[in-house]
Amino acid sequence: MLLDEEVLAGHDPLAPALIDAAGGRTIAFGQLADGARRVAGGLAGRGLERGDVVALVAGNTPDFAVVLYGALAAGCTVALSNPALTEGEQERQFAISRPRLVISDPGSFTRELLSSGDAAGLPERDPEDLALLFSSSGTTGLPKLAAHTHAGAVAFLRAIGGTPRMAIGPADVVGIVIPFTHLFGCALLSHGLRGGARVVGLNPGDPEAFLRMLAEHRVTVAPVTPPLVALLARSPLVDRYDLSALRLLIASAAPCAPELQEQAAARLGCGVADCLGSTEAWAYTFALDPPVRGSVGVAVDGVELRVVDPATGERLGAGEAGELWVRGPQVMRGYAGHADVRDWLATGDLARIDAAGNVFVVDRLKELIKVGGASVAPAEVERELRLHPAVEDAAVVGRPDAELGEVPVAYVTLRGAVAPEELRAWVALRLAPWKHLRDVTVIDAIPRTPAGKILRRELIERERAQAAGTRRPSSDRRATPSLAQAVDR
């Protein structure tokens, strides 16, 4: 089965499918399916062929879905890119994905193609064709593009659809503020539409707009990051809105404390389902009902998990902590431009699995920093810092933060005079908001191994020790992403 067919087939053509929370525009399932077919025909008419890459740089609007599923129907691979990225970040993604066409205004694009699109003559396709490219920070190094096939995406959708606690049907309204370009947002968009639910989309930006969407559209299911869980659990703004329709929050993208989940559940009278996943493998655990406290759940159908010694790869027993590995049909084929994944995928998470199969995340082995739901690759920020003429060397790590979990901070050595605020501004001009630095500290030397690898753990331990004591407050907190900004990579 192909992803677009799995999502679009078998629905009441008159039932509402997608709503733009900001503008109020609604399209029905019949309009979505017909629009996707016409976009597919229009792309084919422009000469795009099976396997060509279309880059989709867009927000959470109904036209996003029309273009996404239309491009897939045309046999194209869709590279999803967050419009909040800077021009330089977009260019680096395009250098990897090498798109034949970039669509940054899906509304105008669909209006053009809907007037002339013809679904005739579409190419034959195969479930093993590449369907989606998602930006990922990987476990180390610079951002990459995780490549997923139709078969892998469908395997995930069938796994989540077959999990009782995660099931979604025509009576549900799914409210999504997670960007559709993020795997988490795209997953719930497709899951909701596949189940026949009404999907309401809203671009990140304003926490109160998120609450208003939940209330006005009587949202029943909402994917959330930890900052959004904190908003729902603690903010006085929540008392202004009727959120009684909510039955389920699906928490993912970053670790979410059990206490926070429990506070949100008690306040709203709804369930909170934690799950664990990655851009490389969709979500591979879902919480049970009732959940086991502190656990991110058990493996979904069709997925195998094991915990291994990070140094040797030797499998560990129940209750022993090591690196979590995952294997199954929903795991990506590989990173675009790199060798395919073979056998097990190393997640970079330090975890343990009890005798009943419950997964508990202990820590992270991978270098990336989780800012709310956003992933920051230290190497990317370090590269920008080293481009400053006054910087000799740099290392970026995560600092514990009560609201966002972590925020990125930098340690630098200098070859010339420069104020920390200038270095923060330098990064802010070049990278997306969630990658902006909270603090910059000048030190004599970046700790490195004899082979030159940054001893990041030493700096992380320094940050944790300082967090346990009294920390000098940052002179400027404006670089910290808002709750709404911290929901994408």
* DSSP character string of 388-427: STTEEEEEEEEEEETTTEEEEEEEEEESS---HHHHHHHH
What is the Cα–Cα distance from 377 to 152, expressed in whole angstroms?
25
d(C-alpha 419, C-alpha 80), whole Å:
36
- Whether residue 31 sits in one domain with residue 113: yes
Distances (CA, A) of 19 to 49, 119, 189: 31, 25, 12
Does residue 485 belong to any structural domain of this protein?
Answer: no
> Is there a single domain that holds both residue 305 and residue 436?
no
Rounded Cα distance, 105 and 181, in Å: 14
Is 69 in the same domain as 194? yes
- Clarify whether residues 256 and 178 are in a common domain: yes
Residue by residue, DSSP assigns 160-191 as HHTSGGG---TT-EEEE-S-TTSHHHHHHHHH
β-sheet bridge partners, residue 278: 282
Query: In whole angstroms, what separates CA 184 from the centre of its chain?
Result: 5
pLDDT at residue 405 in the model: 87
Place of tokens 């050595």: 413
Residue at 135 is within a domain: yes
CATH number at residue 450: 3.30.300.30
Torsion of CA 213, 216, 221, 222, to 10 degrees: 10
Question: Do 307 and 351 have their domain in common?
Answer: yes
Q: 325 and 225, same structural domain?
A: yes
How distant is the alpha carbon of residue 131 from its chain centre? 17
Domain count, the chain: 2
- 26-28 and 221-224: which strand pairing? unpaired
Long-range contacts of 107-110 (CB under 8 A, 24+ apart): 107/61, 107/63, 109/39, 109/63, 109/67, 110/35, 110/39, 110/63, 110/66, 110/67, 110/70
Q: So what's the pLDDT on residue 415?
A: 86
Range of the domain at 64: 3-360
Structure tokens at 29: 């399932």
For residue 355, count other CB atoms closer than 10 A to its CB. Answer: 8
Domain end residue (candidates: 331, 360, 389): 360
Domain with 159 in it: what CATH number?
3.40.50.12780
- Give this prediction's pTM: 0.83
DSSP, collapsed to helix, strand or coil, labels residue 463 as helix
Query: How far is Cα 54 from Cα 277, in angstroms, rounded to an integer?
Result: 25
- Would you state the structure tokens that stand for residue 150, as one six-digit string? 């139709």
- Residue 285 included in any domain: yes
Cα–Cα dist 9/63, whole Å: 18
Query: And the tokens for 77?
Result: 């691979």
Based on the fold, state whether residues 283 and 408 are members of the same structural domain.
no
Among residues 127, 176, 169, which one has the least CA distance to residue 333?
Answer: 127
Whether residue 221 is found in the same domain as residue 345: yes
Q: Are 348 and 396 part of one and the same domain?
A: no
Both 356 and 380 in one domain: the answer is no
In a domain, 480, yes or no: no
The C-alpha atoms of residue 149 and residue 332 are separated, in whole angstroms, by 7
Q: Which residues of the chain have pLDDT under 70?
A: 114-121, 137-141, 449-452, 470-489
